Structure 1
Amino acid sequence: MSQIYVSNLTFAYEGSYDNIFENVHFQIDTDWKLGFTGRNGRGKTTFLRLMQGQLEYSGTISANVEFDYFPFEVQHKEYLTIDVISEVYPDFLQWKLIRELNWLKVSEDVLYRPFNTLSNGEQTKVLLAALFIKDNHFLLIDEPTNHLDSHARKLVADYLNRKSGFILVSHDRAFLDRCVDHILSINKTNIEIQKGNFSTWWENKQRQDQFELAQNEKLKRDVQRLSDSAKRTSGWSHEVESTKNGTRNSGSKVDKGYIGHKAAKMMKRSKAIQQRQLSAIEEKSKLLKNIENTESLQISPLPFYKERLAELDHISVSYGANPVCEDVTFEIQQGERIALSGANGSGKSSILKLVCGEDIPYNGGFHKDAQLKISYVAQDTSHLRGDLSEYAKSCGIDESLFKSILRKLDFSRLQFEKDISTYSGGQKKKVLIARSLSERAHLYIWDEPLNFVDVISRIQIEELLLEYTPTLLFVEHDSEFVSNIATKVVELSG
């Protein structure tokens, strides 16, 4: 076991006036299983790049281990998988690699297939296995779950749980809980480390937030009370001081020394109250710095004139000679939130596109009312570019509502001025979700909407769906989200 030290770390991208990190200090043990969390755009991937020495920064990052990043870029995807691994780690021992693949339930024969013929899940597992057979390396694992179905996520989580020495960026709560023992969180104003899994960290954060909110309300009352008291005392001292040159009601001469002493005493008391007031304000300013903006989201689903929106009766989808799914039967009733479940390649996205009205080759019975209005969130965000205002206009949605939703999902106003193509993966997903929430529809169809989206935003979206109960057909591999949201699960077998 050794230590990784981060000291006085400060970084901003060239041309930016805002530091992403400023005088950051912490240290971590190289045998920790460290979950890395924080809202989109806070700098998680940037921090991993800093640890690899890819960006210039001030301060120090020191360690006695080498850093490896996942997912690393594969230069020659047409090569056999075993040759791809040899390019990354020329001296690997094959028996060690096969042991890792066995733990990940990957057949040895994938090593002798071209890498580009492997499924996304197989590629993820192979690349992880290749990195974990290296000695004296600390792994920086950046969102490995985005190409994994629910079953594969559990498998990879269990695999990581038997390992140590990594930082894992993930927004999947159940996944983090299965395989980490510490949480590194990028908050609004600092970076902190806590021992425990994600659920422990989240419980502690909520408890701290509630404490700070209660303290804030108490200090607000204290400041108001002290302010009122200071005004009264200051008023009294001025009243007393003004009698120094006058006479008493009895007509006797005023004792200017006594009145001056009394006025000075009251003024001193006023100053003391003002000082206490300033101290209370200063204490109050230390609170609420890391409480996240979690304003409630809204959606305005359209009511449909009948209960059943669509029906699929023994649907089979094939592309040429390749069957994707068979015998899919279910109805979409108004108010239902239906999760499509199944392994990667089982036809989930094809079914969503069929319901959306795309030209999907199928057999069986499919009926959808011609008047049904659908709002669709696709997996792919690569088409997003340009100005947010222009994007809203091209989609025919209200720009103010669209940007208001993005603000509630932790977009800064500065973000509105940037080209969408420069956004992080999570921010691009939020653009698609905000557009969908701005659309009035009878049916919302979302295909893996939460890829790259931070945990706090996921919880906001959960609360929205539970409050407004729109009719929803969706695919999502975040098991916590599915458990909380779905009223019905349709299992597809490829």
Structure 2
Amino acid sequence: MATPPLLQLTDVSLTFGGNPVFDNLSLTVHQGDRVALVGRNGSGKSTLMKVMGGLVEPDRGDRIVPTGSSVGYMEQEPDLSGFETLGDFAASELAAAEMYRVERASEGLKFDPDRPVATASGGERRRAALAKLMAEAPDLMLLDEPTNHLDIEAISWLEDELKSTRKGFVLISHDRRFLSELTRATLWIDRGEVRRQEQGFSAFEVWRDKAWDEEDTQRHKLDRKIKSEGRWAVEGISARRTRNQGRLRALQDLRKERSGQIRRQGSAALELTAGPKSGKKVIDAKGVTHAFADKSIVRDFDMTIQRGDRVAFVGPNGVGKTTLIKILAGEITPDAGSVKLGTNLVPAIFDQSRAQLDPDASLWDSLTQDRGMRVSGSSDQVMVRGAPRHVVGYLKDFLFDERQARAPVRSLSGGEKARLLLAKLLARESNLLVLDEPTNDLDVETLDLLQELLDDYDGTVMLISHDRDFLDRVATTTVAMEGGGRATVYAGGWSDYQAQKRADAAPEKKAKPASKPEKSAVAAKSDAQSALSFTEKHRLEELPAVIDRLTAEIAKLEEFLAQPDLFTKEPLKFKKGTEALVERQNALAAAEEEWLELAEKAEEA
């Protein structure tokens, strides 16, 4: 039995600036639906969600919410005027007895409900808006990019909450794994038309490609028929006879149908050219220690980054990922330790704060006035990887049209701003890419293209991202920052890091139930170790855990390298995995040798 509808849109049409966004669009969301709303940047996803939430009134058509049903929308830029704290805003629609819901959500989403609104960042405001919606728990939740400004721990909390709820929800997100884990139906908006499939996001790409293949086939058939009938109309004198006027009218109808078809938007034409080859050793960090306002960012951190590495930095918001990546890139001098940069480095930086974009400048000026892209003596050309290009032509590579070229940056959506930043970044030749949250607001197709570019890039990449799928696709090494100055290097991407972390914890877990040694044995061990220095005693106690960890990492890497197609399909990952395996095997041999020497010394005492 079908569940009752929570929301219906019927024959909805909407026009912005003379351009149709939707035309006679209809859709229904039922009780308990878990829906992914997908489409290209600029296709109208956010606008459609605002229509669904009642925030935007369509030009024509009806929005129907049954009496007694509630629909809630997570505002991307919430109005917090009139509220003292973020908690006041989040709890504004709740009874006093329900305040605990806001406290619970604030813990999961990691924001301080007592934070004054006046000092709250944009990310904190968005998290408060999300907490407000989760605490109110309407029958239908409309969530537009809820994972933006969340770290992976908060994303996992939100994921668990949505998995356990009985409420319905519609999600817009660039996070593939988040969508795949949560959705059971998909709404696809494409050229003003909305299609629905009763399968989650994991089946979307197959469905989309099949639909586009069928569309291409039908268009080719229509083109052939128009060509055939057009030849008849020109060559056949009998076409002028009254009895053939119907055939001419049919030809006119075919041409009208063909001209009415909306051309499918192409993919962004992203290209990335590596500059001159850097030295083999790109970054060599030793004993790096840094603090900010009495907060330890990193302590005694060692790392060597080789040419071709793809290093991901993960950890909670505020732990210092951006600071560490800037230290390694030579932008910040650490309090202690050293960072040596390799020879011939040409860096290019993608800044999550969008600080490189002037909101009042036009897209045209953003590119032509960029010192790294300016062409001397020309106001309409930009230098792209060593060759001049017309600014509009280059903008079209990133899916901007001629009309947008003169529009101010502030008029762009989040995804469009990200594409403009990519346009500036990819115009430069480089051999070291520093990417701070490059995935925010990008649509799935552009993310795919960016991932392919990074796979083929003949340079080194350091990146920060909370997108688990993107990390798995790109990273060959992961630096996990856990707070308190702790930063640990793991081989592979996010899933590899999680597996190695579980393996590290396993020996410690198994060791706990072990029976206590006899008192005499403990005393004997204490006497034996008395001949060791304090540092040696500590090292002797520490080494078994180190050996267990290295053994587990080696097993994981051997399993990773045993994949039959890895060498042919992912040669870079195979190379990095092999290097990591050899490194850990050498470290294991050294640790075992050190343990034997210390154990023998203790026995001889």
TM-score interval, normalised by the smaller of the two chains: 0.7 to 0.9
Q: Which amino acid aligns with 1:335?
A: G
8 A contact 2:438–2:465 mirrored in 1: yes
Closer, same or farther: CA 491–122 of 1 in aligned 2, 3 Å: same
1:13-57 CA-to-partner distances (Å, cap 9, x unmatched) read: 4xx222333332222224312222222233333333334444443
1:67 CA drift (Å): 3.2
Closer, same or farther: CA 391–158 of 1 in aligned 2, 3 Å: same
Q: Which amino acid aligns with 2:349?
A: Y
Partner of 1:187: 190
Match of 1:393 among 345, 368, 371: 368
1:433 pairs with 2:422: yes
Partner of 1:335: 308
CA–CA separation in structure 2 for the residues paired with 1:266 and 1:128: 67
Closer, same or farther: CA 80–23 of 1 in aligned 2, 3 Å: closer
Partner of 1:345: 318
1:32-87 CA-to-partner distances (Å, cap 9, x unmatched) read: 12222222233333333334444443222121334332244444776373x44433
In the alignment, structure 1 segments of 5+ residues that lack a partner are: 238-263
1:47 pairs with 2:48: yes
Match of 2:453 among 453, 464, 489: 464
8 A contact 2:284–2:304 mirrored in 1: yes
CA RMSD of aligned residues (A): 3.6
Partner of 2:408: 419
Match of 2:340 among 364, 367, 373: 367
CA–CA separation in structure 2 for the residues paired with 1:135 and 1:442: 48
Partner of 2:163: 161
CA–CA separation in structure 2 for the residues paired with 1:363 and 1:310: 16
Range with greater deviation from structure 2 (111-120 or 43-52): 111-120
Q: Which amino acid aligns with 2:63?
A: I
Partner of 1:487: 476
1:330 CA drift (Å): 2.7
Range with greater deviation from structure 2 (429-438 or 328-337): 328-337
SS in 1 for 2:148: helix
1:355-395 CA-to-partner distances (Å, cap 9, x unmatched) read: 44323544222011464221111011265321222211232
Closer, same or farther: CA 152–93 of 1 in aligned 2, 3 Å: closer
Q: Which amino acid aligns with 1:170?
A: S
Q: How many residues align?
A: 458
SS in 2 for 1:389: helix
Partner of 2:134: 132
Partner of 1:260: none
8 A contact 1:296–1:464 mirrored in 2: no
SS in 2 for 1:147: coil
Partner of 2:296: 323
1:384 pairs with 2:387: no
1:269-318 CA-to-partner distances (Å, cap 9, x unmatched) read: 9989877766765665676x474412542122102252222222232221
8 A contact 1:10–1:20 mirrored in 2: yes
CA–CA separation in structure 2 for the residues paired with 1:47 and 1:105: 26
8 A contact 1:335–1:472 mirrored in 2: yes
Partner of 2:149: 147
CA–CA separation in structure 2 for the residues paired with 1:101 and 1:375: 36
Q: TM-score, normalised by structure 2?
A: 0.66
Range with greater deviation from structure 2 (321-330 or 93-102): 93-102
Q: TM-score, normalised by structure 1?
A: 0.80
Closer, same or farther: CA 174–299 of 1 in aligned 2, 3 Å: same
In the alignment, structure 2 segments of 5+ residues that lack a partner are: 374-380, 383-388, 484-605
1:434 CA drift (Å): 0.9
8 A contact 2:363–2:404 mirrored in 1: no
Match of 2:179 among 176, 180, 183: 176
CA–CA separation in structure 2 for the residues paired with 1:45 and 1:92: 33
Closer, same or farther: CA 227–470 of 1 in aligned 2, 3 Å: farther
1:452-483 CA-to-partner distances (Å, cap 9, x unmatched) read: 11112111222222344442211122122222
CA–CA separation in structure 1 for the residues paired with 2:239 and 2:255: 24
1:420 CA drift (Å): 0.8
8 A contact 1:143–1:170 mirrored in 2: yes
Q: Which amino acid aligns with 1:391?
A: S
